[in-house]
C-alpha cells in the first residue's frame, strides 16, 4: 500500500473514563483520528485512589504517562491484619521491582484521569489530538450506518465504535442484545481519603502511616478495610468493603454520600485505633459504592463496534484490576488496528481484539470474584470446600492465592501479546490468500 493510500480510521469512543482515554491515546499515537463522547458536563474523576499494578503501569508508561511524575507512588509494603490489630503478615514489596517488569504503583484517580486526558488531547504528542465532546450522552448505536446516537439526536458515524461507557454501559446491550445490566453483587464499599499529616499528628492513629507506600488490608470474616496512600504519599485512601443486601439499581444511587454513623457501626468490631481512624472521615466526603457484577458476556463485539473496560467486564475491587484491565483493552485495541487497516477489515480485527483479551480478562475477573468477601467468610479455600476455615494464624488462603495469581497477572504485557496475535493473524491470512491463488 502506498503512503497516499493509507487512511487513518475514524474512531468514535463512548465514554472518556480510564479505558476510553487510554484507547484514545493508543489510537491517536497509531495515527488514527479519535473522537470521544462523554456524558458528563466536565471531565471529572472520583476523589479516590487506584492501584496501578505492574501490568498496567508498564502500558501507561509506554503511552507517555510516567505515574511518579503525577503523584504515583510505589507499593513498598503489603500487610494483612486481623480485626484486633494483630499482624498476619507483612511483605517487603520494594523487591517486586525484580519480580515484575514494571513498578507496582498507587495513584489518585483524579491525577491518573487528568494525565490521560492531557496526553489524549496534547498538540505536541504523536498523531492528531483526540477531540472530546462533553455533555454528550450516547443513547444508542446504529450498526448499519456505524454511527453513535446521542441523547440530543445527533448522529456521528465512524469506522470503529468503542463502547467504553463503564459499568452501566448503554452500548453493552446494543452489542450483546437483551438485558445484560450489571447486578448488585451483595457487597458495597465506603470510600474516602484522609490527609496523612492528620493521621500522623494523632498518636492513636500514627501507627497506620508509620511506613510510606504501605498497602494494608484489615480482614474480618465478612468485611474488610483496604488502606493505601496516593498522591506523593500525602493522602490515605480507604475502601471499606462489607456485605450489603440493598439494591441501589439507579445510577443516581451509586457513589452517593454515605452515612458516617452507618459506616462506624458496620466496622465497630475492629480494634479501637481503627475506629479512631475511621472516625476521622469527613462526614460529607464518604461515598458509598454498591459493587456491581456481571457474568462473562457471550461477546464483546458486533460488526465494527467493540466493548472495553467495565462495559465488557465490570470488576469487583478485590485485586485493584478493573482500571488495569480497561487499560490493557485500550492498548490491545489499537495494537490490532494499526495505521493502514482498511475499514472492511475492522470487524475481523475487533474479533481478534476479543480473542486477545477475553480469556485473560475473564480469568482475572473470576479470581477477583473468588477473593471477594462472602457470607461464609474470607478465609475459605479457593480450591477447597467453601466455608472451610483456614488456619487461625498465617496468611489467609485468599492472600496466598492472590500472591500466586499475581505472577500471571502482573507479568503480562497486553501490547506485546496483541502485537504477536496480529502478526500470527496476518501470517495466516497471507497463507490463506496464497492457497487461494494456487487453486486458481
Task: Give the interface with ligand FAD as residue ranges (CB under 6 A).
Answer: 14-20, 37-40, 50-51, 137-138, 164-166, 170, 189, 191, 239, 289, 291, 309-311, 315, 317, 320-324, 326
List active site positions.
191, 228
Taking residue 250's Cβ as centre, other Cβ atoms within 10 Å add up to 8
Q: Which is nearer to ligand FAD, 127 or 317 (CB)?
A: 317
C-alpha cell at 209: 502511616
- Among candidates 254, 65, 276, which has minimal Cα distance to 168? 254
**Would you list the DSSP string of 92-120?**
EGGGHHHHSSS--EEEEHHHHHHHHHHHH
**Would you list the DSSP string of 115-181?**
HHHHHHH-SSSSSSPPEEESS--EEEEETTTTEEEETTS-EEE-SEEEE---TT-SHHHHHH-S---
For 362, counting Cβ atoms within 10 Å of its Cβ (0-12 exposed, 13-18 middle, 19+ buried), the class is middle
The side-by-side arrangement of strands in the sheet containing 105-108 is: 49-52, 105-108, 73-74
Q: Which is nearer to ligand FAD, 138 or 334 (CB)?
A: 138
CB of 178 to ligand FAD, least distance (A): 18
- Among candidates 125, 176, 412, which has minimal Cα distance to 301? 176
Q: Which is nearer to ligand FAD, 15 or 158 (CB)?
A: 15
Q: Which is nearer to ligand FAD, 56 or 390 (CB)?
A: 56
C-alpha cell at 327: 487499560
Q: Which is nearer to ligand FAD, 16 or 199 (CB)?
A: 16
Question: Where do we find the cell 467468610?
Answer: 377
Taking residue 165's Cβ as centre, other Cβ atoms within 10 Å add up to 27
The side-by-side arrangement of strands in the sheet containing 155-157 is: 138-142, 147-150, 155-157
DSSP state of 311: G
- Under a CB-based contact definition with an 8 Å cutoff, are residues 238 and 218 in contact? no
SS3 content of the chain, % helix, strand, coil (to 5): 40, 25, 40
Q: Which is nearer to ligand FAD, 13 or 390 (CB)?
A: 13
Q: What are phi and psi of 215, to 5 degrees?
A: -100, 115
H or E stretch at 368:
helix 346-370
Q: Which residues make beta-bridge pairs with 226?
A: 217, 239
CB of 409 to ligand FAD, least distance (A): 11
**Closest residue (Cβ) to ligand FAD?**
17
H or E stretch at 217:
strand 214-219
Q: Which is nearer to ligand FAD, 390 or 418 (CB)?
A: 418
Dihedral sign from CA coordinates of 105, 109, 115, 116: positive
User: How far is residue 324's CA from residue 60's CA, in Å, rounded to a whole number?
Assistant: 10
Q: Which is nearer to ligand FAD, 226 or 390 (CB)?
A: 226
Amino acid at each position: 500500500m502506498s503512503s497516499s493510500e493509507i487512511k487513518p480510521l475514524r474512531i468514535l469512543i463512548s465514554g472518556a473514563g480510564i479505558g476510553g482515554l487510554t484507547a484514545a491515546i493508543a489510537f491517536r499515537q497509531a495515527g488514527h483520528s479519535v473522537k470521544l463522547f462523554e456524558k458528563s458536563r466536565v471531565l471529572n474523576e472520583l476523589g479516590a485512589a487506584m492501584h496501578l499494578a505492574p501490568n498496567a503501569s508498564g502500558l501507561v508508561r509506554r503511552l507517555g504517562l510516567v505515574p511518579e511524575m503525577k503523584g504515583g507512588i510505589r507499593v513498598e509494603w503489603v500487610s494483612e491484619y486481623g480485626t484486633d490489630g494483630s499482624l498476619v503478615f507483612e511483605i517487603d514489596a520494594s523487591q517486586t521491582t525484580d519480580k515484575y517488569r514494571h513498578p507496582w504503583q498507587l495513584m489518585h484517580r483524579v491525577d491518573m484521569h487528568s494525565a490521560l486526558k492531557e496526553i489524549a488531547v496534547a498538540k505536541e504528542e504523536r498523531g492528531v489530538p483526540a477531540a472530546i465532546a462533553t455533555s454528550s450522552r450516547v443513547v444508542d448505536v446504529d450498526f448499519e450506518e456505524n454511527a453513535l446516537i446521542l441523547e440530543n439526536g445527533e448522529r456521528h458515524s465512524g469506522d470503529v465504535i468503542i463502547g467504553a461507557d463503564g459499568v452501566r454501559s448503554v452500548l453493552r446491550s446494543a452489542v450483546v442484545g437483551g438485558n445484560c445490566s450489571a447486578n448488585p453483587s451483595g457487597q458495597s464499599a465506603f470510600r474516602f481519603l484522609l490527609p496523612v499529616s492528620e493521621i500522623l499528628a494523632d498518636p492513636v492513629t500514627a501507627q497506620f502511616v508509620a511506613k510510606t507506600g504501605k498497602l494494608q488490608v484489615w480482614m474480618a470474616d465478612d468485611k474488610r478495610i483496604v488502606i493505601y496512600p496516593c498522591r506523593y504519599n500525602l493522602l490515605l485512601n480507604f475502601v471499606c468493603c462489607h456485605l450489603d443486601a440493598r439494591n441501589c439499581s439507579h445510577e443516581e444511587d451509586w457513589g452517593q454520600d454515605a452515612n458516617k454513623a452507618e459506616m462506624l457501626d458496620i466496622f465497630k468490631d475492629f480494634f479501637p485505633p481503627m475506629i479512631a481512624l475511621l472516625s476521622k472521615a469527613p462526614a460529607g466526603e464518604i461515598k458509598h459504592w454498591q459493587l456491581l457484577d456481571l457474568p462473562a458476556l457471550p461477546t464483546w463485539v458486533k460488526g465494527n463496534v467493540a466493548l472495553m473496560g467495565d462495559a465488557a467486564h465490570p470488576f469487583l475491587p478485590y485485586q485493584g484490576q478493573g482500571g488495569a484491565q480497561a487499560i490493557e483493552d485500550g492498548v490491545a485495541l489499537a495494537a490490532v488496528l494499526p495505521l493502514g487497516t482498511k475499514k472492511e477489515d475492522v470487524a475481523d480485527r475487533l474479533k481478534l481484539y476479543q480473542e486477545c483479551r477475553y480469556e485473560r480478562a475473564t480469568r482475572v475477573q473470576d479470581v477477583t470474584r473468588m477473593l471477594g468477601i462472602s457470607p461464609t467468610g474470607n478465609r475459605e479455600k479457593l480450591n477447597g470446600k467453601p466455608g472451610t476455615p483456614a488456619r487461625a494464624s498465617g496468611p489467609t488462603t485468599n492472600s496466598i492465592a492472590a500472591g500466586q495469581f499475581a505472577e500471571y497477572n502482573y507479568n503480562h504485557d497486553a501490547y506485546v501479546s496483541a502485537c504477536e496475535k496480529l502478526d500470527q493473524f496476518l501470517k495466516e491470512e497471507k497463507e490463506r490468500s496464497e492457497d487461494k491463488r494456487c487453486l486458481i
